[in-house]
Amino acid sequence: MLYPLKFEPILKDKIWGGTKLQKLFNKPAKSERIGESWELSGYKEDKSVVTNGFLAGNDIEELIEVYMGELVGDEVFDKFGLSFPLLFKLIDANDDLSIQVHPNDEVGAERHDACGKTEMWYVLDAEPGAELIIGFSKDTSREEYIEAVEKGKVENLLQKVSVKKGDVFFIPAGLVHSIGKGVVVAEIQQTSDLTYRIYDYKRTDEHGKERELHIEQALDVINFNAIKEPKTQYKDELNKVVKLVESDYFITNIIRFNQEIIRSYASLDSFVVYICAEGSFCIEYDGETTAVAKGETALIPAIIDQVKLIPAKESTILEVYVP
């Protein structure tokens, strides 16, 4: 019988990474520049492995192969097969990330035989004065953009947004963006690693080489219109389920709670993923409990109709599923 599943994080060393994933969430990293913890992934070789219960040691693709729609939902399985459709990460920007854009499904399929990349960020931690780049500050022509790129002044066209813990940003394919120094986010995205880098501050790697830019590829992908409301507005309510993002690829809710909550998923034909953003809680199902600490992720198989969530103290979780 399937049950709530937890997974071993996959840690990624990055040129811009730091140590906050270890400090804030006890990630087992030895490097001092861990930029990403892939919490739940079915991407290529980076397939998450179960750590709890009798399925421990099996990876997500093996589970889908055996349990199919019982694990991910019948419609999800029919559409994606053995591919797990979403990728969940924690990101520590100890330095500014490159300014980048992601292609949509159509371009991804045409150029890379892959899906595109729409994503969202939930800010888990932010140093005073920290910023994100979200789109253009004014409607910009293709010609203006090309000239700015050639002069190394593309930053001047972009919108910088001050951030704090709890802020939410939806990043559809085509939106230019970057995470600034001092920001830690939970990222929910399509299972894709397609990134077009358009500016990288002339940084060099350990061999003295600048990272590759994708100026030409990005041109046909970028949304040059100004983004007037870069931050997703939501009502912060205690012991309520509040919707943050609804897209074609995922729906994300936030639950801030200090008392038991029962979540019923009988009408939902999808797996559900919880990311614990603050505090800790237990998932009670079929007489068993699964503890989830701050920074941990758990998957509720699609066959499970109802769970009880029990917070140890006031806690905040993100709840994600496929529409």
Task: Please write the tens of the pLDDT for every residue from 7-47.
Answer: 999 999 999 999 999 999 999 988 999 999 999 999 999 99
- Catalytic residues, which ones? 197
pLDDT band at 61 (very low <50, low <70, confident <90, very high): very high
Distance of CA 267 to the CA centre of its chain: 25
Q: Which fold has domain 5-219?
A: Jelly Rolls (2.60.120)
| Angstrom distance (rounded) from CA 163 to CA 209 | 31
| Angstrom distance (rounded) from CA 150 to CA 145 | 9
Overall CATH class of domain 240-321: mainly beta
Share above pLDDT 70 across residues of the chain, in percent, rounded to a whole number:
100
| Angstrom distance (rounded) from CA 129 to CA 229 | 19
The answer on pLDDT for 289 being more than 80 is yes
Contact 164, 132 (CB under 8 A): no
Poorest-confidence range of 108-122, 144-158, 194-208? 194-208
If we measure between CA atoms, which residue out of 106, 220, 121 comes closest to residue 180? 121
Give the pLDDT score at 205: 75
Start and end residues for every CATH 2.60.120.10 domain found in the chain: 5-219, 240-321
Please give the helix or strand (H or E) that residue 79 lies within, else none.
helix 74-80
Share above pLDDT 90 across residues of the chain, in percent, rounded to a whole number:
93
If we measure between CA atoms, which residue out of 273, 279, 275 comes closest to residue 257? 279
Give the pLDDT score at 80: 97
The Cβ-side half-sphere exposure at 24, using a 13 Å CA radius, reads 22
Contact 70, 58 (CB under 8 A): no
pLDDT band at 248 (very low <50, low <70, confident <90, very high): very high
Give the pLDDT score at 207: 82
Mean pLDDT of 272-294: 98
Give the pLDDT score at 211: 85
Mean pLDDT of 54-70: 98
Mean pLDDT of 80-85: 97
Global pTM value: 0.96
Residues 195-219 pLDDT 10s: 999 988 888 777 888 888 999 999 9
Give the pLDDT score at 52: 98
Q: What is the mean pLDDT of the chain?
A: 96
Give the pLDDT score at 135: 97
Widest distance between CA atoms in the chain: 63
Question: Which residues have a Cβ under 8 Å from the Cβ of 120 and sit 6 or more positions away?
Answer: 168, 169, 170, 171, 187, 188, 189, 232, 244, 245, 247, 250, 252
pLDDT band at 261 (very low <50, low <70, confident <90, very high): very high
| Angstrom distance (rounded) from CA 66 to CA 1 | 12
Mean pLDDT of 265-290: 98
Give the pLDDT score at 57: 98
Contact 170, 247 (CB under 8 A): yes
Mean pLDDT of 84-100: 97
